[in-house]
Amino acid sequence: MVFSPGKKVFTFGSVDEIINRFLGAHDSSSSQLVEDQQMSNVNAMNNQIMHIQEQLEIEKQRGKVIAQALHSWREQRRWERPIENMSYQQLEMIKGSLENMKALIDQKIYEVSNMFASTSSYNGGESIFNGNIIQVGAMGN
């Protein structure tokens, strides 16, 4: 709607439609279309929120599993913690683990020394271990 300098009214389109728009009255089909579009947008956003919440729950569960694994790993490496922060029971457990480790090392030393002794009888007093020649006969003398 346009007013001329001579105060004449010129319209482009239906006068009733322009007046209805100006007064706030809407066509029921266009308002229904707008309302449907808004509902569609709301539903799409709700679906996105639900999907993100599901992902968040999955990530929270992953975080719990990782935290448990980290705690377990730290417990397995308890010998790396300061002794001052350990209880008597923890110290006893570490002592037992160290004694077991010492027994295993002693057994390996015994096996390796027997291997050297048996190979020295075949090589005339020389044994090869990790590519190095070791004088076995000289070790006992």
The identity of residue 53, as a single letter, is: Q
pLDDT exceeds 90 at position 47: yes
pLDDT for 63-79, tens place per residue? 898 888 887 777 666 66
Distance CA 63, CA 72 (A): 14
The whole-model pTM stands at 0.35
Check residues 141 and 7 and name the one with the higher pLDDT. Answer: 7
**Cβ-based neighbours of 31, under 8 Å, separated by 6 or more:** none
**Cβ-based neighbours of 93, under 8 Å, separated by 6 or more:** 78
In the chain, where the domains are located? 87-141
Cβ atoms of 36 and 44 within 8 Å: the answer is no
* Residues across the chain: 141
pLDDT for 96-128, tens place per residue? 888 999 999 999 998 888 877 766 555 555 444
